[in-house]
């Protein structure tokens, strides 16, 4: 995997982290009147972006410590997996008292598949270490973009008049 690819992912992640600040000051949210689901989505925007950013910089850093490409990619997959699992667990805990959309359930299902791939790569059960690592990073970007769109465009049922 080229350094350019990883640095591009890092740049996208930084942009998404920056957009979370923009989201935080839009409309009524800037006045502190956040709905619980909005708080969950904001964290679900920033945390996966931070994972993608950290992950994108990880292989270059590990090259300074480890030798062997396969070892670097397997360790990178392990770190990204652990970070994703921590964020996913925190998301589940935070979102217990909020309504879960079907699209969120589908995104969670996709995440679990990527987690399985990262685990299989870490254990050397799946030989496509770089590909799996890229999927782990792209999952972070996809989850962040998904939650960014939910924050901007999702209409809350309590804000809509009954017809």
Nearest CA to 133 among 147, 146, 119, 144? 119
State if pTM tops 0.85: no
| Binned average pLDDT, 10 residues per bin, the chain of 163 residues | 82 84 61 71 84 92 91 96 95 83 89 96 95 94 87 56 28
Instruction: Give the pLDDT confidence of 96-109 residue by residue, as tens digits.
Output: 887 878 888 899 99
Whether the CB-CB separation of 97 and 36 falls below 8 Å is answered with: yes
Would you state the pLDDT for residue 23?
67
40: which residues sit within 8 A by CB, 6+ positions away? 91, 94, 95, 98
- pLDDT, residue 162, reads 28
pLDDT in the model for residue 2: 75
């Amino acid at each position: 995997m080229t350094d350019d690819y990883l640095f591009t992912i890092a740049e996208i992640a930084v942009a998404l982290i920056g957009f979370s600040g923009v989201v935080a000051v839009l409309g009524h949210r800037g006045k502190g009147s956040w709905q619980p689901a909005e708080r969950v989505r904001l964290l679900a925007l920033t945390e996966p972006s931070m994972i993608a950013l950290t992950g994108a910089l990880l292989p270059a850093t590990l090259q300074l410590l480890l030798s062997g490409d396969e070892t670097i990619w397997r360790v990178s997959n392990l770190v990204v997996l652990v970070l994703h699992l921590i964020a996913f667990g925190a998301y589940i805990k935070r979102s217990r008292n909020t309504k879960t959309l079907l699209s969120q359930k589908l995104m969670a299902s996709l995440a679990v598949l990527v987690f399985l791939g990262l685990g299989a790569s870490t254990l050397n059960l799946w030989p496509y270490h770089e590909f799996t690592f890229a999927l782990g990073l792209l999952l972070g970007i996809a989850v962040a973009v998904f939650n960014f769109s939910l924050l901007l465009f999702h209409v809350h049922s309590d804000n809509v008049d009954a017809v």
